[in-house]
Structure 1
Amino acid sequence: MSGRSIIVTGGFGALGRVVAAAFAAQGDRVARIDFAPTAPDSLAGGVDLAGVDLTDAAAVERAVAEVTAKLGGIDVLVNIAGGFTWETLDGGSIASWEKMFTMNIKSNATITKAVLPAVQASAAGRIINIGAGAAVQAAMGMGAYAASKAGVHRLTEALAAELADSNVTVNAVLPSIIDTPTNRADMPDADTSKWVKPQAIADVILFLASPAARSISGALIPVTRGQPD
């Protein structure tokens, strides 16, 4: 299955870069799409589209058209782009709920809709979303984030059912805390050995994109086991 065309949204972030590099390492052609104005690095043979607002349908259509033209189609979409906030309902704002739903569910639905024709034209299309373990059982301060990620879970299930008679599978990976520089800076006293490494998540995503996972669709797969440094 090497040589496929892959889109990774949030491709300039800590997890997105690892996932994009993992696909590229096995011979796939990768387009990284991100809201950030510039890429922090480059990916050999890849396509980087910066400054793309994934909630803007017209901008997304242009980005998808560019990727399709440059890579010759789209076989796999990995939706990593999103955001996080921690605040209580009493001490927070309703604007935060709107922001989380915009960043986590609207962005996902917008680009997924845009790529559907190309992915359905693939011999083995794959859509892989990033959900959240925190959306299964929300803790204090996680309401807005968890609710928006629960929306990603429901989108995953509904789209899998919608595409059940096609060659496309739709699944979601549900990580616990991801071991990123930002999370380490935000939680300096945490036991990071219990956090999930980005490469571990990438390994699961590569599996879901592979022929071995052809009969898995509509699954919400927890990825929660940490590793010592």
Structure 2
Amino acid sequence: MSDRVIVVTGGHGALGRAVVEAALADGLKVAIIDHAAGQSAPEGALELGGVDLTDPASAAKAIDAVVAHFGRLDALLNIAGGFTWQTTDDADPAWEKMFALNLKTALNASRAALPHLKASEEGRIVNVGANGGLKAAAGMGAYAAAKSGVHRLTEGLAEELKKTSVTVNAVLPSILDTAQNRADMPDADPKKWVQPSDLARVMLFLASPESRAITGALVPVTGRV
């Protein structure tokens, strides 16, 4: 059993669940922070549901609760987010929603966690960007812009923290093999997609002490797409 404590935001989503399960299997102490309330957490994980990470005060309260429970915080994995396919001329633009769900959640959780991560000998922040954030496809403008913001947050924060123990990196997945994506793209070949369990292993490496030489990296995890 490791003494390292990690927070997984969006821990009840497909990727979040994969990360939580892998982290617990590795003997890490895990806290789940999620907007969903009343969800069951795997045995051994601390569950904090009903948290609005788009609100800085709510994010700070949740992070403080984790530290109060475990006594420390070593890594923050920012998985909370959302996706909307929408053309720019849609009558109800989703740009603010995409920025709130993808960028503000990561920013608020990171700001709340920083004092605790700096106290760790090997503090880590791992964000989830997107390969689609490098070049927007049709209908992907709002989502790609928000994920590009996550990329810039990752790079800027990494530079700011180079004199501390904290590293900041992001993974840039393509399409994840999830039930929702299979339903939305029935004609696609999911064998080419990224398995959540494989992306989880990359994220947990970046959250580990062994990744200390890597910071400010945007790591593509794109399967065979």
TM over 0.5: yes
Q: Which runs of 5+ in 2 are unaligned?
A: none
Q: Note if 1:179 corresponds to 2:177.
A: yes
Q: Give 1:63-212 correspondences, 5 Å limit.
A: 63-94=62-93, 96-212=94-210
Relative to structure 2, which stretch is displaced further, 149-158 or 58-67? 58-67
1:216 maps to amino acid: I
List per-residue Cα deviations over 1:24-52 (Å, max 9, x = no partner). Answer: 1111110011001222x422211011110
Aligned residues of 1:88 and 1:143 also touching (Cα < 8 A): yes
Separation of aligned partners in 1, 2:113 and 2:185? 36
> Secondary structure at the residue paired with 2:210?
helix
1:32 maps to amino acid: I
Aligned residues of 1:75 and 1:122 also touching (Cα < 8 A): yes
- How far the C-alpha of 1:92 sits from its partner, in A, is 4.9
Aligned residues of 1:124 and 1:167 also touching (Cα < 8 A): yes
Over the matched positions of the two proteins, sequence identity in percent amounts to 56
Q: 1:19 to 1:226 in 2, by over 3 A?
A: farther
Aligned residues of 1:129 and 1:172 also touching (Cα < 8 A): yes
Aligned to 2:20: 20
Separation of aligned partners in 1, 2:125 and 2:191? 30
> Secondary structure at the residue paired with 2:11?
coil
Separation of aligned partners in 2, 1:160 and 1:197? 27
Aligned residues of 1:197 and 1:226 also touching (Cα < 8 A): no
Structure 1 outlier segments of 4+, above 4 Å: none
Q: 1:137 to 1:92 in 2, by over 3 A?
A: farther
Separation of aligned partners in 2, 1:110 and 1:88? 28
- How far the C-alpha of 1:226 sits from its partner, in A, is 4.4
Q: Note if 1:9 corresponds to 2:15.
A: no
1:205 maps to amino acid: M
1:10 maps to amino acid: G
List per-residue Cα deviations over 1:101-146 (Å, max 9, x = no partner). Answer: 0111011101110010000100000000000000011110000000
Aligned to 2:220: 222
| CA RMSD after TM alignment | 1.4
Aligned residues of 1:89 and 1:143 also touching (Cα < 8 A): yes
> Secondary structure at the residue paired with 2:66?
helix
TM-score, length basis structure 2: 0.97
Aligned to 2:38: 38
- How far the C-alpha of 1:219 sits from its partner, in A, is 0.1
Separation of aligned partners in 2, 1:19 and 1:163? 25
Separation of aligned partners in 2, 1:56 and 1:90? 28
Relative to structure 2, which stretch is displaced further, 119-128 or 41-50? 41-50
- How far the C-alpha of 1:91 sits from its partner, in A, is 3.2
1:83 maps to amino acid: G
TM-score, length basis structure 1: 0.95
Q: Which runs of 5+ in 1 are unaligned?
A: none
Separation of aligned partners in 2, 1:204 and 1:85? 25
